[in-house]
Structure 1
Amino acid sequence: MSQILTVSCKLKVSQSQAAKLDATMDAFVQALNWVNQNTPEKVVNAVKLQSLCYYQIRARFGLSSNLAQQVCRRVAGARKVARQRNRPVKEFKRRFVTYDARIFSFREKDWTVSLATVDGRERFELAIGNYQRGMLAGSNPKSATLVQRKDGSYSIQICVEAEPPKQQNTDKVIGVDLGRRDIAHTSEGDNWNGQQLNKVRDHYCRLRASLQRKASKGTRSSRRRCRELLQRLSGKERRFQTWVNHRISKAIVSRAKTTNSAIALEDLTGIRERVNQQPR
């Protein structure tokens, strides 16, 4: 059984190509919102959505045939997820475009990708390192997602099929207990304390609360500076938490590989409801 891996690659984009990508992303997101607002919410089938609004999408937003189909598939997928969570689909805000094999191609000999835009096909060089080259070498990707980052750069998230490593049978097991005070504690005696992490999270919590108060009061210039600082801080705590979790998980996996052991994790069903009731 194969697995799908996502390889994120930065694009080298000229000024003229950036204008085409911007126009394509704007048209794609506008089409998503238009389809979501002008079709019955109960329709969650991409084929039915396509039959309802395919020609309107092409006429209104200038998208190609395959991009118009991607709009319908994206809206249908979002509605299915929203139905499972018992809530409506919110407005699409993020600038992105999804591609399939008919409007996207990867060429290994010069490490480039070809993408369809509202102004024809364009070829882009990939700014990637050895890790991405190793993942893409010899592959034939069928789908990708074009994304614009906060700093204005463009990246393409390429989906690659890969065979998972063969599972090894072993009698050794490393048990991992997960928690809030101790992030992880293994049966081998390894322990990662969450005290430093909680201090960082408490710091950002107090800082955000202070800036939010100041952003609603004070002079006009001070309110503006507080809003700018809040924007710069956005996601910083989340990235730090992700980095800490990554370090811990890598250490546990490395220990298991060294000792040829399996990993048994604690059952965390309902932990969000239990833990999040406690004050930080």
Structure 2
Amino acid sequence: MKQVLTVSCKIQVTPEQVAKIDATLQAFADACEYVNKTAPPNLVNELAMQSLVYHDVRALFGLSSQLAIHAVRRVSGNRKTARHKGFDVKKFAPTSATYDVRTFSFREKDWTASLTLIGGRERFSFAIGNYQRGLLKGQNPKTATLVKRKNGTYYLNIQLESKPPTPEETGQVLGVDLGRTDIAVTSNGDKFSGQGITKIRDKHARVRAQLQYKAAKGTRSSRRRCRRLQQRLSAEERRFQTHINQGID
């Protein structure tokens, strides 16, 4: 069984690259819209859908073969999710596109990535910190998602696959039931009361509601102060939870 970690990396773009990225994201979304409207509504099988629309998608939207396949795959996946949740797929926004090993590559020596776009291949430098560098160091990722955020910045969400370590064999097993009244109840009968953390959570919920109301009505500086206070509340809650967890351990 594989586990997947996604590393979100901001990329630096030139005006010329912005135009190519936006054109690619729009074409990818338009292709998804076309596939969704053309393929029979009840069809969710990816291969059957691809056999119906692949050549049209290539001809109409100028996508590479792999991007065209990923557009079909996204429609298939969205339809399966929609069917499970009981609603229909209605719209695809030009905010992301899926990449694989044929359309994406990562280069550690200069912390860049290469992507296939409409108009050719482009290389992008990362604007990332030590945390992302540490995760990507020595890795050879095969898949990524190009994302345009609401503020107009561009990110590459890189998926890193790994195998979890094999659990150590042991004859001792302890089950823990997590809750709110009792933060934890172990299978050997020990109970850890959740009264303290529940009190703090309820207090923080009230304070957050007040801060959000003040931030909505206040000035820019007051909103900054409210954000700082909310961050302190979250940090305090995490410290208390860590203390509880250490007590359970």
What is the CA–CA distance in structure 2 between the aligned matches of 1:203 and 1:39, rounded to whole Å?
A: 49
Residue number in structure 1 paired with 2:187: none
Find out whether 1:247 has 2:238 as its counterpart: yes
Does residue 196 in structure 1 map to residue 206 in structure 2? Answer: no
Task: Tell me how many residue pairs correspond in the alignment.
Answer: 228
* Residues 8-27 of structure 1: per-residue CA shift (max 9 Å, x gap): 10001111111110110111
Instruction: Indicate if the aligned counterparts of 2:113 and 2:124 stay in contact, CA closer than 8 A.
Output: yes
TM-fit CA distance, 1:54: 1.0
Between stretches 246-255 and 135-144, larger displacement belongs to 246-255
Deviation at 1:133, TM superposition (A): 1.1
Cα deviations by residue, 1:24-76 (Å, 9 ceiling, x for unpaired): 01111111112111211111111111111112112221111111111001100
Pairs within 5 Å for 1:84-233: 84-93=84-93, 95-165=95-165, 167=167, 175=176, 177-179=178-180, 185-186=183-184, 187-188=191-192, 191-193=196-198, 194-200=201-207, 202-203=209-210
1:162 Cα deviation (Å)? 2.4
Deviations for 1:203-256, whole angstroms, at most 9, x for unmatched residues?
488789x99xxxxxxxxxxxxxxxxxxxx9xxx9xx98xx67993697269627
What is the rounded CA distance, in whole Å, between the counterparts of 1:123 and 1:246 in structure 2? 42
1:73-118 deviation per Cα after TM superposition (whole angstroms, max 9, x unaligned): 1100111111111221131125100011110111111111110101
How far the C-alpha of 1:142 sits from its partner, in A, is: 1.0
Unaligned 5+ residue runs, structure 2? 185-190, 218-222
1:226 aligned partner: none
Would the aligned equivalents of 2:197 and 2:241 in 1 still touch at CA under 8 Å? no
What TM-score do you get using the length of structure 1 for normalisation? 0.69
Q: Structure 1: which 5+ runs fail to align?
A: 212-231, 262-280
Work out the percentage of aligned pairs sharing the same amino acid: 42
Deviation at 1:2, TM superposition (A): 3.2
Instruction: Identify if the C-alpha distance between structure 1 residues 138 and 58 changes in structure 2 by more than 3 Å, giving closer, same or farther.
Output: same
Query: Paired residue for 1:61?
Result: 61
Amino acid at match of 1:251: T
C-alpha distance in 2 between matches for 1:111 and 1:153 = 18
Mapped partners of 2:241, 2:57: distance in 1: 46
Q: Match of 2:102, as an amino acid?
A: R
How far apart are residue 173 of structure 1 and its match?
A: 5.8
Amino acid of the residue matched to residue 118 of structure 1? I
RMSD, aligned CA:
3.5
- Once residues 214 and 53 of structure 2 are traced to their aligned partners in structure 1, the CA distance between those partners, rounded to angstroms, is 47
Cα distance change, pair 172–246 in 1 and its aligned pair in 2 (3 A): farther
Q: TM-score, normalised by structure 2?
A: 0.77
Aligned match of 1:221: none
Deviates more, 1:103-112 or 1:189-198: 189-198
